[in-house]
Structure 1
Amino acid sequence: MLISSYNPTALGDVLMMLTGQATNAEQDVEIHGDVAKITRQDNQQLVGVNLFNASNYVEHLIGDGQVFLDDQQVAQVNHALEINGASVQIEADHEPKFVVGAVETLVAHPDSDHLHIAQVDLGNEKLQIVCGAPNIGAGQKVVVARVGAMMPDGKLIWPGKLRGVESFGMICSARELGLPNAPQRHGILVLDAASQAGTAFDFNQDYSAQY
């Protein structure tokens, strides 16, 4: 997993990279020159790296939020980590985090009057996702934010539990996806039935006819 963000206007020349979930865990931070290495105290897992003066190390680094590092940029980051003595490396992550899913089954949550438990086919894997949208139904094609996705508002998607039931992603609304002219009402975006499960969601397509 690699979630990267860069916003020089708000945060300065700092490339922030998340490599794991640190929610509710105590963290250790080690500074090595221009690198801050962040690990969980409980298991020593690397969960984040901040690279300061990032534009001195990484070429073509442009953004005001989430950025997607290509292989060359990841190699440049790893070189920066090495010369700063951080003794860690990051791995490129090109797997799409927003994909088309097919809702195979839907059952009521045992401890809620509005939540449902969906089994969603993503083509090469199936996920259990708890969803509270009033318009969700079995057989639909939907947009799934997988674990490791960063939503347009900056929210990160991690595994979790909703009222005791495990959930491994989020089924998204047009508003949550930041689509143009998205309705403000509560409800997921239902895609055309011909959409193929497992394909990356195309944010540039016009979905207004499906709102």
Structure 2
Amino acid sequence: MNLFYNKEAVGDVAFLQIETINGEFNYETKGDVVEIKHENKVVGYNIFNASKKADIVGNGHIKLTEALVEALQKAIKNDGFTFELNADFSPKFVVGYVETKEKHPDADKLSVLRIDVGNEQLQIVCGAPNIEAGQKVVVAKVGAVMPSGMVIKDAELRGVPSSGMVCSMKELNLPNAPEEKGIMVLTDDYTVGQAFFEE
């Protein structure tokens, strides 16, 4: 679930994206709230006069907090919709351990990785030339928003499912990031599953 808000550029509207979907959408408006559906499934809300309903600070992608989600839920319910918001507040950038690395069956420069992120194992397809089994790396999990604004989603790369992204220093917008391609390899001081950023 992602929240976008830019009062100066687009007005006092909160854009709440529950799922990223392409295709035809249906809209239903009640009061200040527009419910957006795709194939009869709720995928988002536009909430007008948002600053009167929730304390939203900043522009662009807004970090969700429990208080903010509660306020948005109240706005949705007050205008007559029944959908329950389900926000995941777990860290999205975490330390992962590359357990296995296999060659992608259909792409020479891609590897298929099995990565332990503490509470689960993820399959991630990665094109970095320096990725190896046994490394600790930074993993952007599904739902993470990169500094570029890109939202990490479940994907298929050349036919192989991939859930997340192994990050380079440049992709994380870290200072002194090297120009050459390659993921950021962490030292053993890091604990698998710990948050990489204070989120």
Scaled by the length of structure 2, the TM-score of the pair is: 0.92
2:128–2:181: 8 Å Cα contact kept in structure 1?
Answer: yes
Q: Supply the distance in 2 between the matched residues of 1:197 and 1:187 (Cα, whole angstroms).
A: 20
1:151 equivalenced with 2:146 (yes/no): yes
Q: 1:184 to 1:11 in 2, by over 3 A?
A: farther
- Stretch of structure 1 that moved more, 83-92 or 187-196: 83-92
* 1:6 alignment counterpart: 5
Q: Supply the distance in 1 between the matched residues of 2:182 and 2:173 (Cα, whole angstroms).
A: 14
* Superposed CA offset, 1:160-211 (max 9, x none): 111111111111111111222322321111111221111111269xxxxxxx
2:2–2:64: 8 Å Cα contact kept in structure 1?
Answer: no
* 1:127 alignment counterpart: 122
* Superposed CA offset, 1:69-115 (max 9, x none): 32222221111112222332313321111111100000111111110
1:179–1:203: 8 Å Cα contact kept in structure 2?
Answer: no
Scaled by the length of structure 1, the TM-score of the pair is: 0.87
Counterpart AA for 1:182: A
* 1:53 alignment counterpart: 49
Q: Supply the distance in 1 between the matched residues of 2:14 and 2:173 (Cα, whole angstroms).
A: 23
Structure 2 unaligned regions, length at least 5: none
Give the share of equivalent positions with the same residue, in percent: 47
Counterpart AA for 2:129: P
Q: 1:97 to 1:58 in 2, by over 3 A?
A: same
After TM superposition, the runs of 4+ consecutive aligned structure 1 residues lying more than 6 A away are none
Q: Supply the distance in 2 between the matched residues of 1:152 and 1:111 (Cα, whole angstroms).
A: 30
Q: Supply the distance in 2 between the matched residues of 1:160 and 1:5 (Cα, whole angstroms).
A: 22
2:96–2:192: 8 Å Cα contact kept in structure 1?
Answer: yes
* 2:91 alignment counterpart: 96
Given candidates 108, 111, 115, the residue that maps to 2:110 is 115
Cα deviation for residue 129 of structure 1 reads 0.3
Q: Is the partner of 1:56 in helix, strand or coil?
A: helix
Given candidates 20, 29, 32, the residue that maps to 2:30 is 32
* 2:18 alignment counterpart: 19
Counterpart AA for 2:50: A
Query: Number of matched residues?
Result: 199
Q: Is the partner of 1:17 in helix, strand or coil?
A: strand
Structure 1 unaligned regions, length at least 5: 205-211
